[in-house]
Structure 1
């Protein structure tokens, strides 16, 4: 995102949701353009009193875009920092702030959090860390509590992890843990329900819990209790039993850790951690770029996996799949899930040969296409099509849908 876009990352800067049918007055249009253009419109447009805080917060963060391009941020009239980008004698953002204002990263964080709607504030946090290097936010205890954890923030932090000092890395771990814990709370019930055994409708269950509720049999059992107005009095509530697996399955997760895979890596680590805690499943986790790293010993700890992963580098999917093939002990009870964008830097022909051989042996294979930060699939469709022709089921699945698919396979 360029600095010119700084005032409109979703809802407008005042927190309202824009609508194509909105009629904007000339004064309101001028106000918005002043916030978008910042100090570069100071000679023509004034900042209203109600927008001083918005302007200050936007300027503190997004003026870094101009200085990164070599612009000098000078002092305007009265030292307010409203001068042109190349004029004036001042250089540096701190000196251009009004006197008496907290210009630390924490001060900016507190002010921005109170002025902007949550969605906008979360995006500004991501820009602060990933684009403008405000990693001091990770070194302040108060700032760590103020930061709004989100998947986007976690992904941005993972991508800059290699440039962090020890104290900042410790703060990053705390943020990652909060994000991971939130995702686990949401996903674990889905995996537990889907994977811990299929519903057996031939047997009634004594475990009267929501996930075992059998609404079809309940309706049939109470058809005789419908009054003249069509209302049913339910007295006999039916629940179905679940058939437990008696044999262990091997689930081998191959996760591409090239630079574009950070969002998928986050969810893959969480899924591996949840699966590791379920009975009857042996999880093997491998991260790969041009080499393959065995993370199976850390699979139960998603945070440690994410803190250890090395995002970036090339991609050799064929090498990773060959490595997985060597780990297969019982093909008919093995699932190999490849998480990748399928942009192969190695030999596509070797990749397809290995996939065809594994599928023929009875290994269940799933190719999970990478999802971007908006949960949209981003992958090489040509390679994906060839993989599907060789026996790999290829799909762009959310983690919830992956849980359902895995439950169907393991049943």
Structure 2
């Protein structure tokens, strides 16, 4: 997920010598003339390293909207871990908002999103549209904003309003990622009909494990 926002390793030589960017293949090739048959060792005189591409554009804003309603009880671990994957990325300003029928902005209280979301269980009904509207109000630069909705999409509020908010966000250039809930067995547990409506409104909807989240985010951020 971090590389999706900050850049991946480039396939060219770099000047900075960092262990994580060590280019073993090119280093071996460049130093083959120093192989010592009698000892079976290769003497490295010139280690080579990758460079890293960097995105020098304005930072991204990520707004996490986490459904904490009663129907999400079996998905609390998935929600917490998924939020943690997107929290605290370098160069990314992140907001964390929990909701049921009420909306609670937890951004100023977050040290560890997993611990916080496991402790703060709202457990009431569900008004996803209200939370989405709150998240939309936090957007400062639409084309550098990602609104991430983690929910089972069983809307107790106004589904038409929710679809309208998502369509407006997508229309202004914001990325809307709707991450469907998984139960304790990692099986998708969400309202597929409303999920389809959100996809039709311009959101990217997916039911995935946190491990699959990185490629999903990288694909849509890179567009």
The two structures share one fold, judged by TM-score above 0.5: yes
Which residue of structure 2 lines up, in the alignment, with residue 257 of structure 1?
Answer: 68
Which residue of structure 1 lines up, in the alignment, with residue 37 of structure 2?
Answer: none
Distance 1:305 1:379, change over 3 A: closer
SS of match in other structure, 1:283: strand
- Does residue 240 of structure 1 match 2:50? yes
Which residue of structure 2 lines up, in the alignment, with residue 365 of structure 1?
Answer: 176
Which residue of structure 2 lines up, in the alignment, with residue 11 of structure 1?
Answer: none
SS of match in other structure, 2:170: helix
Higher helix share: 1
d(CA) in 2 for partners of 1:391, 1:214: 40
Q: TM-score, normalised by structure 1?
A: 0.45
Which residue of structure 1 lines up, in the alignment, with residue 129 of structure 2?
Answer: 318
Q: TM-score, normalised by structure 2?
A: 0.79
Query: CA shift at 1:261, angstroms?
Result: 1.9
Counterpart contact for 1:342–1:379, Cα < 8 Å: yes
Higher strand share: 2
1:43-76 Cα shifts (integer Å, max 9, x gaps): xxxxxxxxxxxxxxxxxxxxxxxxxxxxxxxxxx
Q: Highest Rg: 1 or 2?
A: 1
Query: CA shift at 1:398, angstroms?
Result: 1.4
Gap runs ≥5 in structure 1: 1-190, 226-232
d(CA) in 2 for partners of 1:332, 1:376: 32
Distance 1:243 1:264, change over 3 A: farther
d(CA) in 2 for partners of 1:399, 1:207: 31
Counterpart pick for 1:376 among 169, 184, 187: 187
Distance 1:359 1:405, change over 3 A: same
How many residues in Structure 1 have an aligned counterpart in Structure 2? 210
d(CA) in 1 for partners of 2:218, 2:50: 17
Which residue of structure 1 lines up, in the alignment, with residue 116 of structure 2?
Answer: 304
Counterpart contact for 1:338–1:368, Cα < 8 Å: yes
CA-based RMSD of the aligned residues comes to 3.0
- Does residue 197 of structure 1 match 2:7? yes
Query: CA shift at 1:260, angstroms?
Result: 3.2
Counterpart contact for 1:272–1:283, Cα < 8 Å: no
Gap runs ≥5 in structure 2: 33-41
Counterpart contact for 1:264–1:339, Cα < 8 Å: no
1:65-101 Cα shifts (integer Å, max 9, x gaps): xxxxxxxxxxxxxxxxxxxxxxxxxxxxxxxxxxxxx
